[in-house]
Structures are given as structure tokens and as C-alpha cells.
Amino acid sequence: MTKSNPKPVFGDQNDFFEEVKGRKTALFLDYDGTLTPIVSRPEDAQISQEMKDLLAQLAEKYTVAVITGRDMDDVKKLVGLNNLVYAGSHGFRISGPDGLYKEHEKTSVLLPELNIIEKELMELQKKYKGVQIDRKRYAIGVHYRNAKDEEIDDILADFEEVLAKNPGYKKGTGKKIVEIKPDLDWHKGKAVLWILQELGLAADDSVIPVYIGDDDTDEDAFEALETDGIGIGIMVEHSGNSTHASYTLKDVDEVATLFKKLL
């Protein structure tokens, strides 16, 4: 069930802290917009040393997973901590300590097709100044944050043309980005549930999963945890749109403040 008015984590009632009181938190975290501010170029989104230190401390007490649209190897390199779980490409590829690993069984055969689609989308980068094509292992993003406002409708129309020519793929949306990705029944929410199951946390009532994210793709994870009361979703920088998350944080700084409270 979506909510139009989720409560602030640091609100007057302290409801969030009452919910997690006396339980171990399993933290699931988006990267861009959650651990780092959104920036014009994805390659410039570097995690701060303070945030990295907080994650390292949290990982000593809790399960910590980073769930991102970025490639798994990319985000592992950016965060640089070995004792976290990393899920890249919206959960299509997952790895963690003690041999934890999953790669969606249907994705590897799609790589040649994605290579062809990438070439088609590169034409948008040539055609429109400010468009950046971001090839991930199992998805291709079209960033238009730096494009001219008057060209955005044309950019999205050209994107839809490429998508229409490639059955078996679907559109993903985010903040100033559209993606082409495999049309498979797998997303961040299913990745979170798989990780909980594999780590033996799904049936542990002493553990409460908390997912923190800022974008449309995080809604699958919010819904997976909130629908059956499994855990808690927190939306960063809530825009006012309906969300499955129960709580909000203002920005990356408030995410860091929450981490300090949980230590």
C-alpha cells in the first residue's frame, strides 16, 4: 500500500526508533542519492570517507548490503569494504562474504544483444549534447540530466524507438535517467528477499530489515519489505509522490546521522 505522506525518521514521535528498538537491523542501502549526493556525472559520485567509516562500523554490528543499479564490481570498488553484501544491476548480480553469490541465470545469454542495443543508444549521445550513455553489465542507462530542457522530449522519444525494436527488454526510470534492461521478473525487492533468505535472516524475528533509497527503482524493495510487515522502507529526499516507504530522510547528511544513531 502506497503512502503520500511518510513520516520523517527524526520526527517528534520517534516512531522509527520504537520499531527497531531491541532488534538487530539488517541495512539495505542504495548508493547514488543515499550514500552519496546525486551529481551531474555518475563517475563523480564518490563516497565520503565519513560515510565509508560509518559503513565499516555498522558492518561490524549488522548485516549491511548495497543494492544499486550500478554494476556490482563498480560499486564494490567505490565503497571498498570487503564485509558488505553488494547487489549490482538492480540485483541481477550479488556477492558477499563467505561465498555468497548469485547471478541471474537468464542474463548472461543477453550480453550480445545488449552490446547491439548499446550501439543503437550511442547514437543519442552523438545527437544530443548532454546525454550520457552508461553501459552496465545487464542494463544500459541514458542520463539526460545535462541535456537541454527543450530536447528532453525528443531524447525520450528516440529512447522509446530503440526500446520498441528490442522485445524482451523493458524500461527503467530514475532521476534524469531511463534504462533498457532485461524484461525478467527480478528487481531490488526480490534481491533483498533472496539475501535475507540466504543469510538465514528471513525467519529471524530478532532482525528487522531496513531499506534506504531515493529513487523509483527502490520502490520494489520498499514494497517487498512493507507489504507483509517484513521490514521498513525509508525514502531519501521524498518528492511528495506516493511511496511504499513508511519513513523519510531529508538527504545524505540525514542518512549519516541515522547511521550514527544506530551504532
Residue 41 is predicted with a pLDDT of 80
> Any idea of the CA torsion for 107, 109, 110, 116, to the nearest 10 degrees?
150
Task: Report residues of the chain scoring pLDDT below 70.
Answer: 1-4
Residue 156 is predicted with a pLDDT of 96
* DSSP letter, residue 110: G
Residue 55 is predicted with a pLDDT of 98
pLDDT digits (tens, 9 = 90+) for 92-125: 999 999 999 999 877 777 888 999 999 999 999 9
> What are the residue boundaries of the structural domains of the chain, listed by start?
7-104+186-262, 108-182
93-95 and 85-88 strand pairing = antiparallel
- Residue 238's Cα: distance from chain center in Å? 15
- Confirm or reject CATH 3.50.50.60 for domain 108-182, answering yes or no: no
Residue 228 is predicted with a pLDDT of 78
Residue 4 is predicted with a pLDDT of 66
Residue 187 is predicted with a pLDDT of 92
Task: Examine the residue annotation and report whether 74 is marked as an active-site residue of this protein.
Answer: no
* DSSP letter, residue 6: P
Specify the CATH superfamily of domain 7-104+186-262: HAD superfamily/HAD-like (3.40.50.1000)
170-191 burial by CB neighbour count: b if 16+ within 10 A, else e? eebebeebbbbbbebebbbbbb
Residue 13 is predicted with a pLDDT of 77
Residue 5 is predicted with a pLDDT of 81
- Residue 212's Cα: distance from chain center in Å? 9
**pTM, 2 dp:** 0.88
